[in-house]
Amino acid sequence: MTQSISMRGVRKSYGSVIALDHIDLDIRDGEFFTLLGPSGSGKTTLLMVIAGFIRADGGSLKFGDTEVIRMPPHRRDVGVVFQNYALFPHMDVSENIAYPLKLRHVPAAERRVKVEEALKLVRLDGLGHRRVQELSGGQRQRVALARAVVFAPKVLLMDEPLSALDKNLREQMQVELKRLHQSLKMTTVYVTHDQGEAIAMSDRVAVMDNGRIIQMGKPRDLYETPESRFVAQFIGESNLIPVSVTGSTVIGAGADLKVGGRIDTDSSGQGFLVIRPERIQIVKTHDGSDLNRLSATAQEVIYRGDELTVYAILTDGTEISIRCGVHHRAVEEICKPGERIDIAFHPEDSVIVRPT
Amino acid sequence: MSQDTNYIPHWHRAWLYILLALLLAFLAAPIFVVIPVSFSNTSTLQFPPESLSLQWYVRLFSSARWQSSAYNSMLAALLTVCCTIPLGIMAAYGLNSIRTGLGKFISATLMLPLIVPLILVAIGIYFLYARLGLINTMVGLVAAHTMYTLPLAITMIAAGLRRFDRNQEMVARSLGANRLKAFMTVTLPQIKFSVMSAGFLTFIASFDEVVIALFISGGSNATLPRQMFNQLRNSIDPTIAAISTLLIALALIVFAAMQFLKSNEA
Amino acid sequence: MNEIAVPPLRRDSGIAPALAKDARRERSLMIGLALPGLFVVAAVLLSPVGWLIWQSLVDGEGHFTLHHYLSLFSEPKRLSYLQNTFLLSAEVTVICSLLAYPLAFALTVLPERLRKFCMFFVVVPLLTSVLVRTYAWLIILGRRGIVNNVLANLGVIDEPLNLVYNYFCTVLGMVHVMMPMIVLPLYAAMKSIDGDLVRAASSLGATPSTAFRDIFFPLTLPGLFAGATLVFVLSLGYYVTPSILGGGKVIVWAIFLEQTVSFNTQWGPAAAAGLLLLGATVAVLVLARTLVGVKANQVEL
């Protein structure tokens, strides 16, 4: 049976450096939960605290109803997958997977069955007698995964498990991990600095920075309603347009703007309007609709194969990027460097965040 | 370095290679001089010997004194390995996790035997043992040699631990092994070559140690180097050459073993 | 901000002290693992040396005195032993450095297989008993040894030369013993130099000799100093080689020390003589550290 995880006030500091600043977090049973953040944000420290490799300075950590914050790692029943796989080179594939079962005194016959099942689960059937050194990166990753789940742990922890793989393999493994999670329904905590990976795989994501959780929610909510400049910039690409807000009026780049989403400014009403590059259209004329409209000067058009990126400068000097499909042949005509263009976006697609 | 200096033709470097050959000859030649002399048939140190014989080996192996001192050295070296290696593993492991403050201080203290002049150490131990009645005892000798070899063993084992991927031990612990079990089943099997190298080095360091043994091993517990040293100061007959040849063989065995272990660890 | 309502933070009731205690316990466990080794060093090294320090500072009645130290310098002969020791160590260090540098350099430019072969000749002597290596010089330089034989056969000499049991022979033997101790750290230092630096210098127009002088040589200095410090410190207290190859004519401090122990019934004089050696060693290490940044932990193999 897997279990939910709940944390209250978990903290950890190294001297004067605060690695974890009173983390409160609830992860549901069976959830695929991702800790996302740049290096040094505390995401790996938090994972190591859950695993028991790093001792927190204080706080509460529960698996289900059991307090585990003082429990040594070997009694916590967690499966851990490391970035470098950490397979035991002096054991073959089967022995690696059988290791946690041996420690639990599972009888040899049952052990063999379970190892076979685990190998099948990660699609490595028949490779049980390979030496670890003979495996490819992707295969090692699968063995590490099989070893971490074979003993049916309460939670599965993964620390950047795919970052050592090349791009194609990484995407393939993302799909497989997701599939595996759906079949095992195991509470999974996944650490990554790759926002694309986090969005594609997770039920929920917590964005971390400086030892704190900045924002937490479903991938779609994080992408569409960032609550801070940090999240807006860290997840996906964003255009940030300086605006000032007075009452219900939003003025930015010399225009009166309408904002459908969340509005958050500092005390003097300053903020940044966040608009994603793919939500901006290039329009020909000022026609009467409720879209926000701005004037800009085109700088450059970059052909990326699957899309076109237009770089332009707004009247207040803000640089923005606009993405559109390559089938919009006309874009390349319109956006000659130096040409004046009109852009528009839907009020519902934008939010305003604080300047810092 | 081999690539970046290759643009200098090798013949420009001829002087360097000649010097290298001379220096290596200087380093190794004495060793290869000893071996022929041990097979000489005369009692004077003549090189090359006039004709070959095994008489010095026969004399060596029929001498109760040489035999007992060789046995003592062997026993002392084995016992020293048995003490130094477990202590060395424990200290290297513990200090590998604690690298600040007290840990640093302890590391430095454990390295002191490398810095304090051996003759002073020997005299100090001699004074201490005289009071404790440990002069000329095997226990005393092994304790002294354990102290003497510990820094070498710790250094080698710590190097092995640094190469070892600590994540593996963490994984083992998360999979259900306590610290000791994780160390025994995952860490130790992977640093075993460093540990064994340290063992060989400890053995030969103890076996060949002269100065401490000179002061505190005597009587029926005299070691081979002590016996040799006294012999060398009095008369130099080729029995010493025969022993030396055997000691060179020991050095070669240790060298070969350590090379083998090193290539296995890579 | 998240969907699950977070109850107000319960100030952790006693968990922080408990965790701190666990952390301390783990730390103690790790320190504890080093204690048996530390005990051996304390018992067999620190306590005897401590006892020597105390003995060197008290007279027969147990009163504090500097007499033992002062009397070390009362006889000019003893000062000459001290001088011998430093001179011998310095000569050995200089000769070793001059020989080891080209040797280590040659090792770095050799192709892999040949280098391994050459390494054999550096490492095997290190593993061979000092007595064997010292004895070998008696065979080579003895009255009926190789050198005398060759010279006699060539008709250069009628009478065998006295080549052993003198100062020259002692220096030779010491250099032989100490060479690997400096070659290995020097070789390691040269190996670790980024070849791109020298390449970059050549691409900027440096001739091989300028690149060597301006780039390579300065980078090898730390290794050279570390090796030289090791050799000097070991030479200061070296006993075996001078006492065999010196033939009683080369009295270094270690030999004087051994004689003091043998001929004195009191510990005081020997203790003071020994501690002077320790003091000299520590002084050299401190000096090496402040002048050229060699740390004590670099001075080991």
Given an 8 Å threshold on Cβ–Cβ distance, is B175 in contact with A51?
no
Residue C97 and residue C195 in one domain? yes
Task: Tell me the average pLDDT across C209-238.
Answer: 88
What's the number of CA atoms in the CB half-sphere (13 Å) around residue B241? 30
Q: Domains for chain B: give ranges and CATH numbers.
A: 64-265 (1.10.3720.10)
Residue C238 and residue C131 in one domain? yes
Q: Where residue B39 falls among pLDDT bands split at 50, 70, 90?
A: confident
Which tens digit of pLDDT belongs to each residue from C60-116? 787 888 888 888 888 888 888 999 999 999 999 999 999 999 999 999 888 888 898
Residue C136 and residue C194 in one domain? yes
How far apart (Å, rounded) are the C-alpha atoms in residues A114 and A300? 58
Residue C36 and residue C112 in one domain? no
Residue type, A16: S
A271–chain B Cβ distance below 8 A for any pair: no
* Selection from A141, A41, A167 nearest residue A84 by Cα: A141
Looking at the complex, report in whole angstroms how far the Cα of residue B266 sits from the nearest Cα belonging to chain A.
Answer: 12
Looking at the complex, report in whole angstroms how far the Cα of residue C33 sits from the nearest Cα belonging to chain A.
Answer: 19
Residue with the larger pLDDT of the pair B64 and C300: B64
Q: Are A345 and A292 in contact (CB under 8 A)?
A: yes
Say what the ipTM of the complex is: 0.88
Q: Where residue C13 falls among pLDDT bands split at 50, 70, 90?
A: low
pLDDT the model gives residue C145:
80
Given an 8 Å threshold on Cβ–Cβ distance, is C239 in contact with B31?
no
Is there a domain that residue C4 lies in?
A: no
Residue C81 and residue C40 in one domain? no
* Mean pLDDT, chain A, integer: 90
Which tens digit of pLDDT belongs to each residue from B111-162? 999 889 999 999 999 989 998 999 999 999 999 999 999 999 999 999 999 9
How far apart (Å, rounded) are the C-alpha atoms in residues A324 and A322? 7
pLDDT the model gives residue A247:
81
Phi and psi at A81, nearest 5°, equal -115, 120
pLDDT the model gives residue C43:
95
A161–chain B Cβ distance below 8 A for any pair: no
Residue C72 and residue C48 in one domain? no
Which tens digit of pLDDT belongs to each residue from A95-129? 999 999 999 999 999 999 999 999 999 989 889 99
* Domain enclosing residue C30, as ranges: 11-57
Q: Where residue B3 falls among pLDDT bands split at 50, 70, 90?
A: very low
Q: What is the largest CA-CA distance in chain B?
A: 71
Given an 8 Å threshold on Cβ–Cβ distance, is A73 in contact with B174?
yes
* CA A328, chain centre distance (Å): 31
pLDDT the model gives residue A286:
63
Which SS3 state, helix, strand or coil, does residue C94 take? helix
Provide the 10 A C-beta neighbour count for residue A190.
26
What's the number of CA atoms in the CB half-sphere (13 Å) around residue B173? 18
pLDDT the model gives residue C239:
93
Which SS3 state, helix, strand or coil, does residue B111 take? coil
Helix H or strand E segment including A245: strand A239-246
Looking at the complex, report in whole angstroms how far the Cα of residue B165 sits from the nearest Cα belonging to chain C.
Answer: 18
Query: Would you tell me which residues 171-230 of chain A have a C-beta closer than 8 angstroms to some C-beta of chain C?
Result: 215-217, 227
* Mean pLDDT, chain B, integer: 88
CATH number of A237-353: 2.40.50.100
Task: Tell me the average pLDDT across A201-217.
Answer: 94
Inter-chain CB pairs, B–C, below 8 Å: 284
Looking at the complex, report in whole angstroms how far the Cα of residue C242 sits from the nearest Cα belonging to chain B.
Answer: 11
Is there a domain that residue C296 lies in?
A: yes
Q: Where residue A215 falls among pLDDT bands split at 50, 70, 90?
A: very high
pLDDT at C154 over 50: yes
Residue C100 and residue C40 in one domain? no
Residues 6+ apart with CB under 8 A from B243: B60, B66, B224, B228
Which tens digit of pLDDT belongs to each residue from A270-285? 899 999 999 998 887 6
Residues 6+ apart with CB under 8 A from C86: C236, C280
Provide the 10 A C-beta neighbour count for residue A112.
15
Given an 8 Å threshold on Cβ–Cβ distance, is C16 in contact with A57?
yes
Q: Are C167 and C250 in contact (CB under 8 A)?
A: yes
A138–chain C Cβ distance below 8 A for any pair: no
Given an 8 Å threshold on Cβ–Cβ distance, is C244 in contact with B126?
no
Nearest CA in chain B to A75: B176
Number of domains in chain C: 2
How far apart (Å, rounded) are the C-alpha atoms in residues A9 and C12? 8
Q: Determine which of A117-121, B223-227, C257-261 has the lowest per-residue pLDDT on average.
A: C257-261
Task: Tell whether omega for the bond before C111 is within 30 degrees of 0, i.e. cis.
Answer: no
Given an 8 Å threshold on Cβ–Cβ distance, is C130 in contact with B94?
no
Given an 8 Å threshold on Cβ–Cβ distance, is B173 in contact with A99?
no
Q: Which of A8, A24, A58 sits opposite C16 (nearest CB)?
A: A58
Neighbouring-strand partners of residue A311 = A300, A321
Prediction pTM value: 0.87
pLDDT at A353 over 50: yes
Residue C40 and residue C83 in one domain? no
Residue C95 and residue C162 in one domain? yes
Give the neighbours of chain C: at least 3 Cβ pairs within 8 Å.
A, B
pLDDT above 90 covers what percent of chain A? 59
Is there a domain that residue C102 lies in?
A: yes
Task: Tell me the average pLDDT across B65-89.
Answer: 95
Nearest CA in chain B to C116: B259
DSSP code per residue over A32-97:
EEEEE--TTSSHHHHHHHHHTSS--SEEEEEETTEE-TTS-GGGT-EEEE-TT----TTSBHHHHH
Looking at the complex, report in whole angstroms how far the Cα of residue B163 sits from the nearest Cα belonging to chain A.
Answer: 13
Question: For chain A, what are the domain ranges?
Answer: 5-224, 237-353
| CATH label of the domain that carries residue C99 | 1.10.3720.10
- Percent helix, strand, coil in chain C (nearest 5)? 75, 0, 25
Residue with the larger pLDDT of the pair B6 and A53: A53
Q: Where residue B173 falls among pLDDT bands split at 50, 70, 90?
A: very high
Residue C165 and residue C254 in one domain? yes
Given an 8 Å threshold on Cβ–Cβ distance, is A82 in contact with B171?
yes
Looking at the complex, report in whole angstroms how far the Cα of residue A340 sits from the nearest Cα belonging to chain C.
Answer: 41
Given an 8 Å threshold on Cβ–Cβ distance, is C19 in contact with A56?
yes
Given an 8 Å threshold on Cβ–Cβ distance, is B1 in contact with C40?
no
**In chain B, which residues have their Cβ closer than 8 Å to the Cβ of C199?**
4
Neighbouring-strand partners of residue A257 = A250
A5-224 homologous superfamily = P-loop containing nucleotide triphosphate hydrolases (3.40.50.300)
Give the neighbours of chain A: at least 3 Cβ pairs within 8 Å.
B, C
pLDDT above 90 covers what percent of chain C? 42
Is there a domain that residue C5 lies in?
A: no
Is there a domain that residue C243 lies in?
A: yes
Is there a domain that residue C33 lies in?
A: yes
Residue C90 and residue C230 in one domain? yes
pLDDT the model gives residue A2:
80
Task: Tell me the average pLDDT across A185-196.
Answer: 93
Which SS3 state, helix, strand or coil, does residue A123 take? coil
pLDDT above 70 covers what percent of chain A? 98
pLDDT at C261 over 80: yes
Is there a domain that residue C62 lies in?
A: no
Residues 6+ apart with CB under 8 A from C57: C64, C65, C66, C68
